[in-house]
């Protein structure tokens, strides 16, 4: 079942320095349960595409469907959770208070909120930190809290804009494993922006390689790796060959203009 469908999506920003073609003729089909990574150099439109899916930007041309709806309708129906690059936690609320805020707005009961908050705190390895305030946590822990917040209301689609970019490698490995585990257990459809080739290859069923000026897709690589992936899979020939394909895709798209 198709969950996200983009057909010839273009998006041009009008700036004081002239038009910026952030996306040009982007077409992509994401099926239910896919884990799709977007990878490419800075400015290739990864964030813009994710934001367009989330109705935070409006394409200038083409069509986008999310869960069978126009993006703004999907947004109103809370069809997805969104994790931003920066944690964006309210400093006057505790970590648990931040996580439960969207649930409060959506009208979940107090008991349900408490139970969901605890579950996602466990999931991101922050059990015991619910009563702390954001400033009492490291940057990495704050980002994990923001992931927990996006997971709490259990939308079928999770959009993540480089959520682990600021984390050290050990924490990143653990969260990658936790995210894969969550994805397998829940069957969620995940769109994930990253700069890291190993991260894209480790996590994805589909890797979308993009290039800038104008932002476009240069390669879509379907992963042959099994869904069960211990971290050690990164040392296998299949993994290394896939990483090589991504690298080639990035090289192909590397035009100077």
Closer by beta carbon to ligand ATP, 67 or else 208 = 208
Closer by beta carbon to ligand ATP, 13 or else 90 = 13
Closer by beta carbon to ligand ATP, 92 or else 256 = 256
Rounded-to-integer distance, Cα 240 and Cα 159, Å: 26
Least distance between ligand ATP and beta carbon 211 (Å):
10
Of residues 181-220, those binding ligand ATP (CB under 6 A): 215
Least distance between ligand ATP and beta carbon 105 (Å):
26
HEC sequence for the chain: CEEEEEEEEEEEEEECCEEEEEEEEEEEEEECCCEEEEECCCCCCHHHHHHHHCCCCCCCEEEEEECCECHHHHHHCCCEEEECCCCCCCCCCCHHHHHHHHHHHHCCCHHHHHHHHHHHHHHCCCCCCCCCCHHHCCHHHHHHHHHHHHHCCCCCEEEEECCCCCCCHHHHHHHHHHHHHHHHHHCCEEEEEECCHHHHHHHCCEEEEEECCCCEEEEEEECCCCCCCCHHHHHCHHHHHHHHHHHHHHHHCCCCC
Pattern 28-67, binding to ligand ATP, x per CB under 6 A?
Answer: ------------x-xxxxxxx-------------------
Residue from the set 13, 122, 222, 227 that interacts with ligand ATP by CB under 6 A: 13
Backbone angles phi, psi at 36, to 5 degrees: -110, 125
Using CB under 6 A as the binding criterion, the count of chain residues that bind ligand ATP stands at 13
Least distance between ligand ATP and beta carbon 104 (Å):
30
Closer by beta carbon to ligand ATP, 47 or else 189 = 47
Based on the shown chain and the rule CB under 6 A, indicate whether residue 225 belongs to the binding site for ligand ATP. Answer: no
Among 12-20, 91-99, 142-150, 151-159, which window interacts with ligand ATP (CB under 6 A)?
12-20
Closer by beta carbon to ligand ATP, 51 or else 116 = 51
- Residues making contact with ligand ATP (CB under 6 A): 13, 15, 20, 22, 40, 42-48, 215
């Amino acid at each position: 079942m198709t969950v996200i469908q983009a057909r010839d999506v273009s998006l041009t920003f009008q700036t004081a320095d002239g038009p910026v073609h952030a996306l040009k003729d982007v077409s992509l089909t994401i099926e239910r349960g896919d884990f799709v990574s977007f990878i490419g150099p800075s400015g290739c439109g990864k964030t813009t595409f994710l934001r367009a899916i989330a109705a935070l930007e409006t394409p200038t041309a083409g069509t986008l469907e999310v869960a069978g709806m126009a993006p703004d309708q999907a947004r109103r129906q809370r069809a997805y959770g969104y994790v931003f690059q920066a944690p964006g936690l309210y400093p006057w609320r505790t970590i648990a208070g931040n996580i439960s805020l969207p649930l409060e707005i959506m009208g979940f009961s107090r008991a349900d909120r408490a139970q969901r908050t605890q579950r996602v705190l466990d999931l991101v390895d922050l059990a015991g930190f619910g009563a702390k305030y954001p400033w009492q946590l490291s940057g990495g822990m704050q980002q994990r809290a923001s992931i927990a917040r996006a997971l709490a209301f259990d939308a079928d689609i999770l959009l993540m804009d480089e959520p682990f970019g600021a984390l050290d490698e050990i924490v990143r490995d653990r969260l990658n494993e936790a995210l894969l585990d969550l994805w397998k257990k829940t069957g969620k459809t995940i769109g994930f922006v990253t700069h890291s080739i190993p991260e894209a290859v480790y996590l994805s069923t589909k890797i979308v390689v993009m290039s800038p000026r104008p932002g476009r897709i240069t390669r879509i690589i379907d992963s042959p790796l099994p869904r069960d992936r211990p971290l050690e899979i990164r040392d296998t020939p299949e993994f290394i060959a896939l990483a090589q394909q991504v690298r080639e895709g990035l090289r192909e798209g590397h035009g100077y203009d």
